[in-house]
């Protein structure tokens, strides 16, 4: 048993460690490189997260190889091909010496779940995803589902707390966020697929009449069922009722203040977007980008005030967007048809499937860097939770890439872009992406301070390099940039931070 597994064995049912002195003593005895000092509680917790992260690195490689094999052999997923694929990938992972103990159930279950979600998702909501987008969404949902199952089994006592590897503890916000994403992004659309095919349209450019009463009642029942599943599952893992947890966590001045700021901003700014678009006769692509600037107003300031509130609110917003999208796709009364008519004004060539996902991708793109950097947290201030100078920059990678860079690139490129570089993308637009992201990100890091005060130019060069390659990707990608750019910018910024703060 690994040292971190021994420490994880001390976990109580609520996801909290027993007294850290006992756990650290065991780790002190078993880990020879650390015998000169006792492991702190934070060190043990970090080791557990690292071990679990390594497992998911291998899972990512396995799922990536699976998709590559699928493309190379040009065969759709089936039970027969899944069996052959499992044998091939299992052999490859044994050859490259993957971590022991992770291939009996976890990897194979994740592999087949990923392929089922990928294949059937593309079929169920055709033309709503490109293949690359479907891969990203399927992999993310696979990780969420597998982790939720393992954590639920561990909390229920059905899974040994230290085998096959430690399942990290998590705070209530992470639990609610994870289960909420599973039931809203996967379960609700899955249950609504038959309704989409019978009462929906193959393209959002066609608006159907209002949904009849009988299927409307069925849809309301499905939403209610999903709400019951969410409430029961989260209450089980929280070891208290969901409503009690909400009251205890969020009825505090800082979170109430953030909620009031968001409500005021939404009421004051969102209605202005269509008014400004009509008054200034903005092109459709520029009118769409007005909502990107709204994202900056909503999320960037809150990063420095209450990270935990922002973590959960992203998830709540994604869930609400999915429910609203289901209402739009079905023209469910009383607002479904009105929403469909409103959304039709902002469609582009990529919104051609049953579901319009670009606005949901915008939220996910802003949220993913923050969720990756802070999978769990008990602090509410970004500066207190880490000493890394680029923490605010990484967590806001999506806001900067989409709310600033992509919006400015589209605006400048559509109005003054004359030098075409790739397709309809212009050199002027790409320069606007780079310059705007670089200028706006100055409030999120201290690299420029290191340059002017201490003469350290390496941080600035690497940060500008990460911004430059992201601007280049924006010019050439064929995928939905709302999903691709934030992940890419986050990854390059993480590499920059790792090289500067080893």
Instruction: Please give the structure tokens belonging to residue 494.
Output: 């993480």
Which range is least confidently modeled, 7-16, 105-114, 430-439, 483-492?
Answer: 7-16
3-state secondary structure of 146: helix
Looking at residue 165, what is its pLDDT? Answer: 62
User: With contact defined as beta carbons under 8 Å apart, do 499 and 378 qualify?
Assistant: no
User: With contact defined as beta carbons under 8 Å apart, do 466 and 497 qualify?
Assistant: no
Looking at residue 180, what is its pLDDT? Answer: 96
Kindly state the helix (H) or strand (E) to which residue 425 belongs, with its residue range.
strand 425-426
pTM of structure: 0.83
Q: For residue 351, name the pLDDT band (cuts at 50, 70, 90).
A: confident
Looking at residue 220, what is its pLDDT? Answer: 96
Kindly state the helix (H) or strand (E) to which residue 426 belongs, with its residue range.
strand 425-426
Query: How many distinct helices (H) and strands (E) make up the chain?
Result: 24, 2
Q: What are phi and psi of 422, to 5 degrees?
A: -140, 110
Angle at 93 between CA 91 and CA 99, to 5 degrees: 135
Report helix angle 213-238 to 188-199, nearest 10. Answer: 170
Buried b / exposed e over 194-206, threshold 16 CB at 10 Å, is ebbeebbeeebee
**DSSP of 91-116:** HHHHHTTPPTTSTTTHHHHHHHHHHH
Q: For residue 283, name the pLDDT band (cuts at 50, 70, 90).
A: confident
Whether residue 264 is preceded by a cis peptide bond, meaning omega within 30 degrees of 0, is: no
Rounded to whole angstroms, the Cα distance separating 331 from 338 reads: 8
Among the residues of 156-252, which ranges form H helices?
172-181, 188-199, 213-238, 242-250
- Which tens digit of pLDDT belongs to each residue from 377-417? 645 444 444 445 578 889 999 999 999 999 999 889 888 88
Looking at residue 478, what is its pLDDT? Answer: 80
Q: Is pLDDT above 80 for 254?
A: yes
Looking at residue 129, what is its pLDDT? Answer: 82
pLDDT greater at residue 476 or residue 225? 225
Instruction: Count other Cβ atoms within 10 Å, centred on residue 395.
Output: 28
As a whole number, the mean pLDDT across the chain is 81
Average confidence (pLDDT) over 17-25: 36
Q: Is pLDDT above 60 for 323?
A: yes
**DSSP of 410-460:** HHHHHHH--SEEETTEEHHHHHHHHHHHHHHGGGG--HHHHHHHH---HHH
Q: For residue 271, name the pLDDT band (cuts at 50, 70, 90).
A: confident
Which range is least confidently modeled, 179-183, 199-203, 315-319?
Answer: 199-203
Q: Is 95 exposed, middle or buried (0-12, 13-18, 19+ CB in 10 A)?
A: exposed
Rounded to whole angstroms, the Cα distance separating 305 from 122 reads: 39
Among 145, 141, 131, 140, which residue's Cα sits nearest to residue 67?
131
Q: Is pLDDT above 80 for 243?
A: yes
Instruction: Count other Cβ atoms within 10 Å, centred on residue 115.
Output: 22
pLDDT greater at residue 58 or residue 196? 196
3-state secondary structure of 336: helix
Q: Is pLDDT above 50 for 42?
A: no
Looking at residue 482, what is its pLDDT? Answer: 87
Looking at residue 428, what is its pLDDT? Answer: 92
Q: Is pLDDT above 70 for 265?
A: yes
Looking at residue 389, what is its pLDDT? Answer: 59
pLDDT greater at residue 99 or residue 308? 308
Average confidence (pLDDT) over 240-260: 90
Strand 420-422 with 425-426, pairing:
antiparallel
pLDDT above 70 coverage of the chain, percent: 83
Q: What are phi and psi of 491, to 5 degrees?
A: -65, -45
Q: For residue 48, name the pLDDT band (cuts at 50, 70, 90).
A: low
pLDDT greater at residue 72 or residue 361? 361
Looking at residue 319, what is its pLDDT? Answer: 94
pLDDT greater at residue 109 or residue 145? 145
Rounded to whole angstroms, the Cα distance separating 199 from 408 reads: 38
3-state secondary structure of 335: coil
pLDDT greater at residue 254 or residue 471? 471
Q: For residue 99, name the pLDDT band (cuts at 50, 70, 90).
A: low
Q: For residue 195, name the pLDDT band (cuts at 50, 70, 90).
A: very high
Looking at residue 39, what is its pLDDT? Answer: 37
Looking at residue 103, what is its pLDDT? Answer: 55
Task: Enumerate the domain spans of the chain.
Answer: 3-169, 176-380, 386-502
Looking at residue 34, what is its pLDDT? Answer: 32
DSSP character at residue 406: I
pLDDT above 90 coverage of the chain, percent: 36
Q: For residue 163, name the pLDDT band (cuts at 50, 70, 90).
A: low
Whether residue 164 is preceded by a cis peptide bond, meaning omega within 30 degrees of 0, is: yes
Rounded to whole angstroms, the Cα distance separating 46 from 42 reads: 6
Q: Is pLDDT above 70 for 1?
A: no
Rounded to whole angstroms, the Cα distance separating 319 from 101 reads: 35
Whose structure tokens read 């670009």?
Answer: 358
Looking at residue 234, what is its pLDDT? Answer: 96
- Which tens digit of pLDDT belongs to each residue from 455-466? 778 888 888 999
Which range is least confidently modeled, 122-136, 179-193, 401-415?
Answer: 122-136
pLDDT greater at residue 223 or residue 106? 223
Average confidence (pLDDT) over 443-454: 77
Looking at residue 100, what is its pLDDT? Answer: 58
Kindly state the helix (H) or strand (E) to which residue 327 belongs, with its residue range.
helix 307-330
């Amino acid at each position: 048993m690994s040292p971190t597994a021994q420490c994880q064995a001390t976990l109580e049912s609520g996801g909290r460690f027993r007294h850290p002195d006992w756990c650290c003593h065991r780790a002190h005895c078993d880990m020879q490189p650390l015998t000169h000092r006792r492991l702190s509680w934070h060190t043990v917790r970090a080791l557990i997260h690292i071990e679990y992260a390594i497992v998911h690195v291998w899972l990512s490689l396995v799922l990536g190889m699976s998709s590559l094999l699928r493309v190379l052999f040009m065969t759709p997923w089936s039970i027969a091909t899944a069996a052959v694929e499992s044998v091939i990938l299992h052999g490859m992972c044994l050859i490259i010496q993957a971590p022991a103990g992770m291939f009996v159930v976890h990897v194979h279950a994740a592999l087949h779940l990923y392929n089922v979600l990928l294949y059937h998702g593309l079929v169920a909501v055709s033309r709503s995803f490109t293949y690359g987008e479907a891969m990203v969404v399927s992999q993310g949902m696979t990780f969420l589902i597998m982790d939720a199952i393992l954590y639920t089994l561990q909390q229920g006592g059905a899974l040994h707390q230290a085998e096959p590897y430690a399942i990290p503890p998590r705070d209530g916000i992470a639990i609610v966020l994870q289960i909420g994403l599973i039931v809203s992004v996967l379960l609700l659309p899955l249950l609504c697929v038959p309704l989409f095919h019978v009462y929906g349209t193959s393209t959002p450019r066609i608006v159907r009449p209002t949904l009849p009463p009988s299927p409307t009642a069925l849809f309301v029942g499905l939403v209610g069922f999903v709400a019951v599943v969410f409430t029961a599952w989260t209450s089980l893992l929280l070891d208290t009722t969901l409503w009690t947890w909400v009251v205890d966590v969020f009825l505090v001045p800082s979170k109430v203040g953030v909620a009031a700021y968001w409500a005021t901003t939404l009421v004051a700014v969102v209605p202005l977007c269509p008014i400004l678009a009509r008054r200034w006769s903005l092109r459709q692509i520029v009118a769409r980008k007005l909502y990107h600037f709204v994202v900056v107003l909503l999320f960037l300031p809150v990063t420095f005030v209450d990270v935990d509130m922002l973590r959960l609110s992203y998830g709540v917003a994604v869930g609400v967007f999915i429910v609203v999208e289901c209402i739009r796709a079905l023209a469910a009364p009383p607002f479904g048809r009105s929403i469909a008519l409103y959304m039709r004004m902002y469609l582009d060539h990529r919104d051609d499937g049953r579901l319009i996902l670009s606005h949901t991708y915008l939220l996910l793109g802003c949220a993913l860097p923050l969720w990756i950097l802070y999978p769990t947290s008990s602090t509410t201030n970004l500066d207190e939770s880490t000493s890394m100078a680029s923490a605010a920059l990484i967590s806001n990678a999506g806001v900067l890439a989409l709310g600033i860079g992509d919006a400015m690139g589209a605006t400048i490129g559509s109005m003054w872009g004359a030098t075409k570089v790739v397709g309809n993308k212009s050199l002027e637009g790409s320069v606007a992406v780079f310059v705007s992201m670089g200028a706006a990100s100055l409030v999120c890091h201290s690299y420029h301070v290191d340059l002017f005060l201490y003469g350290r130019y390496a941080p600035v060069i690497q940060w500008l390099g990460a911004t430059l390659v992201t601007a280049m990707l924006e010019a050439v990608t064929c995928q939905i940039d709302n999903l691709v750019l934030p992940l890419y910018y986050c990854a390059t910024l993480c590499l920059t931070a790792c090289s500067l703060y080893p």
